[in-house]
Amino acid sequence: MTFREAVLAVARQNQSWLCVGLDPEPGRLPPHMRADADGVFAFCAAIIEATADLVCAFKPNIAFFEALGAAGMNALDRLIKLRPGPPVILDAKRGDIGSTAEAYARAVFDHLGADAVTLNPYLGGDALDPFLRYADRGCFILCKTSNPGSADLQDIPLADGRPLYMAVADYARDVWNVHGNVGLVVGATQPDALIAVRRACPSMLLLIPGVGAQGGDPALTVRAAAATGEPLTIVNASRAVLYADDGPHFAAAARRAAQRLRDSINTALVAR
Amino acid sequence: MTFREAVLAVARQNQSWLCVGLDPEPGRLPPHMRADADGVFAFCAAIIEATADLVCAFKPNIAFFEALGAAGMNALDRLIKLRPGPPVILDAKRGDIGSTAEAYARAVFDHLGADAVTLNPYLGGDALDPFLRYADRGCFILCKTSNPGSADLQDIPLADGRPLYMAVADYARDVWNVHGNVGLVVGATQPDALIAVRRACPSMLLLIPGVGAQGGDPALTVRAAAATGEPLTIVNASRAVLYADDGPHFAAAARRAAQRLRDSINTALVAR
């Protein structure tokens, strides 16, 4: 089963296009948990257990685990190996050349065992190739990110009139998607970009961060990004779920937050 | 002392603008060394010891250490802590947003203790900021990379006539360099880009990979990239030094290879 098939199957089964992002900050864990790699593992494992039937994917961001050194990377490895059902998208935003890209691809897919990864397109197609060759895994290429600074480069107008991020969307569709495993990252804070990218790439998976704490509205996001038929629109929320409550009942609160987000996505999908 | 001051001081002392890239592949270590993280540490430590008086910097690429899991990251940590004299540029090509960028910056500068880092500009200025704020460290922003695929995005003509990589060079000079700690990565395989970037950024440090195994000619590179006065041109070679000989005398062979590269850079600098 490919990543695309797996995420579609889980989305149908759980009736959910919500992805929960695992961006654990030791300083924000509930006070009864240890503010270290073991605490981060226990916290994330509890979030996964509390929400696995409400999501279509989990998205751990490797930076938060790397920041805890070797013990953090070990915690990430153990979390991925929990195999909770929904596939795991490793948010790594990798982009490097030749043998380095090959080393990253092995690290992400073979050693850590992630089902999908996020990739930075600035270095071009040969930097993406070592990942794309894993045809059963997903590759989400950064297109229009959710941060204010994304305008600096991604919105630059090209000689042919497109903004740069649309050149990335067109490359992804026409050149990089030879194995059918490419998706795009477009921030929920960028509704115009969501509409333009979905129009250009009607059958591609979109991974959409920026809902919740970053201010993106789930209903607006879904109306802009959902494809005809199967929505193909993975809506990620991280802090709004992880830190819904900072007391001992954080997992139950995370479950309620995930439920609310899932429901508002589904309501918007029905109304589209 | 800032990174820029440190690298200039070492370049003067060692009469060298050569940087040795540490991209260790366990399968390419000499047969008497263990093909694991301990072998990688021993190999890189021997290379560092054999070349420390011939270079202006070392550039470990984090991907090769991550690929070996927690033991690999531990080896990288120990290598940086050797403090061999020349500053350490961590080749990480990071680019992420908000709190993630902050986590990466802490990991690179506080935990690993690198003197400089390579960064990907696709996400824009706010993704670079957490790194740039470390005013005493160096931040090398990817501008025109040495791989063939760099043409895909980096050469795209903008509406104002510049290729995208020149927009990155202009941003770096006019917007991102508020602390005076920004440099640019331009591949040795791209002499026209080297000339254009150096013209636009006459006083910026350039980090130039792609000499040696990737085919870039050191003399041509230096003639295209050296600034007026102090060259400000860090020329990186990795495989041509690391794997100069695969027998037990690999370190002596690496030293000879580094010496030859340093000398050809210096000859070209005198002739410019």
pLDDT (tens digit per residue) in B209-225: 988 877 888 889 999 99
pTM: 0.96
Indicate the DSSP class of residue B236: E
Candidates B94, B124, B151; nearest CB to A124: B151
pLDDT digit string (tens) for A28-67? 999 999 999 999 999 999 999 999 999 999 999 999 998 8
pLDDT over threshold 90, residue A87? yes
Instruction: Kindly report the nearest CA distance between residue A180 and chain B, in angstroms.
Output: 20
Q: Which of B76, B97, B170, B236 to mutate to test the interface with A (most CBs of A within 10 A)?
A: B97
Orientation angle between helical segments B218-225 and B191-200, nearest 10 degrees: 30
pLDDT at A70: 80
Distance CA B235, CA B20 (A): 8
Q: Which residues of B touch A117 (CB under 8 A)?
A: none
Distance CA A268, CA A270 (A): 5
Q: Which of B73, B77, B100, B242 to mutate to test the interface with A (most CBs of A within 10 A)?
A: B100
Which of B48-52, B62-66, B88-92, B145-149 comes out lowest in average pLDDT? B62-66
Chain A CA closest to residue B100: A63
Chain B CA closest to residue A77: B69
Report the candidate in B62, B63, B120, B66 with the shortest Cα–Cα distance to residue B96. Answer: B120
pLDDT over threshold 90, residue A272? no
Distance CA A101, CA B120 (A): 14
Categorize the per-residue pLDDT at A214 as very low, low, confident or very high, splitting at 50, 70 and 90: confident
Is residue A81 annotated as part of the catalytic site, yes or no?
no
Beta carbons of B115 and B89 less than 8 angstroms apart:
yes
Candidates B73, B153, B156; nearest CB to A70: B73
Q: Where are the domains of chain A?
A: 3-271
Q: Which of B153, B158, B184, B236 to mutate to test the interface with A (most CBs of A within 10 A)?
A: B153
Q: Which residues of A touch B159 (CB under 8 A)?
A: 156-159, 161
pLDDT at B107: 87
CATH 3.40.50.150 for domain A3-271, yes or no, is: no
pLDDT over threshold 90, residue A200? yes
pLDDT at B67: 83
The reply to whether ipTM tops 0.90 is yes
Please name the residues in contact with B204: beta carbons below 8 A apart, sequence gap of 6 or more: B172, B173, B177, B182, B183, B184, B232
pLDDT at B69: 81
pLDDT digit string (tens) for B118-151? 999 999 999 999 999 999 999 999 999 999 999 9
Q: How far apart are the first and last CA of chain A?
A: 30
Chain A CA closest to residue B147: A97
